[in-house]
Structure 1
Amino acid sequence: MTYTEEFLARANELIDAGRFIDNKGWVPATSGNFSTRLSDGTIAVTVSGKHKGRLQIDDIMRVDTEGRSLDGKQPSAETLLHTSLYKRFPEARAVLHPHSVNATLASRIFGEEIVLEDYELLKAFSGIDTHETRIVVPVFANDQDIARLAGKVEQYLDTHGNMHAYVIAGHGFYTWGGSVAEALRHLEALEFLFDCELRLHGVKKL
């Protein structure tokens, strides 16, 4: 298959991100999925069932804005969650979805939302320039009906406005950014902040 220069560049960014995230233990087995939006509006996304620490170029495929395959490969089952975020946030160019221990445990302990407040590392998120900030990361019940789950995320956004990430209970979390690098920065910050909240409140919540 012939790939464009842009596709190869963005795919290699996802491959590098996958290796980094896997080295942290945040995408065990074949869990997680990553994507990036190309300049023509199509989306490069990881194919279904591949280990994210060992991705190759052929493990990245293209889908349209509705999540339909453009090259005959099978996209991740959760591709609609990616496409819905790109529709909602025109500035988003990358979406990352790890299955980390911290996010999974936090979703069990904190219920419907994880509140992150007064942390210096909140400044890692685009648009935040002070620790005197409070962000809410909503937690949605897991659902094998991905279209229905995407609809619940949309309903939340309609009611609550912008957010930087969300968690799927017992599953993992989604975050995004204007580039793969920015989305990865958000991911790292969330992992640190979830860990802080678990250490601070975990025993009490149990």
Structure 2
Amino acid sequence: MHAPGNETPSKAEWRARILQARAELPPEDHAREAAALASAAASVAAQTVCAYLPFGTEPGRISLVAALAATGARVLLPVIPDTPGPLDWAEYTGPDALVPGRLRGVREPSGPRLGTSAVASAEVLLIPALAVDRHGTRLGRGAGYYDRTLPAAPDVQRLAVVRTAEVVDQLPSEPHDVPMTAALTPAGLIRLPSRPSCPAWPGPRS
């Protein structure tokens, strides 16, 4: 997987190994971790939380969002735009108000769209991730939606949602990466060292 003398995995290698591990996780273990993740999410204290609905092999289930709503918080969920850009948002009002989104397997609220600036109204933002390192660097799937979204909310607490084993020592990073302030895992909340704000995402690269 690596050139001789180079033992640092690339982003593509990290993604491949984590997606494989997630795919191999037994359903009962996924359910157990999802319940623990929802329990950990119940400790998040905020008036407004931007979250998301896990799908596929991602850690968590809809119970993650339900646990946030049960705290009394206003929960906003992402609406994926038709063209690459920052995420739009809509309020979660219950499972019956969810409809299929633009991406296969992803559900979104059917209510009014609040605009891309709604992310700045939250105190806490839960962000899907494949991994996060102990310096706050997040590894996503590479589509760039959150890279485009995060610069609009510099003061929001950013929680990468991962399995406990997906908190690693070091990941490849780039200058535009916006650091996470914590990792939300089935084992609880893991605080990460703070870093200065990063510049806006410059757009797709070849």
- TM-score range for the pair, normalised by the shorter chain length: under 0.3
- Superposition TM-score, scaled by structure 1 size: 0.27
- Superposition TM-score, scaled by structure 2 size: 0.27
Higher helix proportion (structure 1 or 2): 1
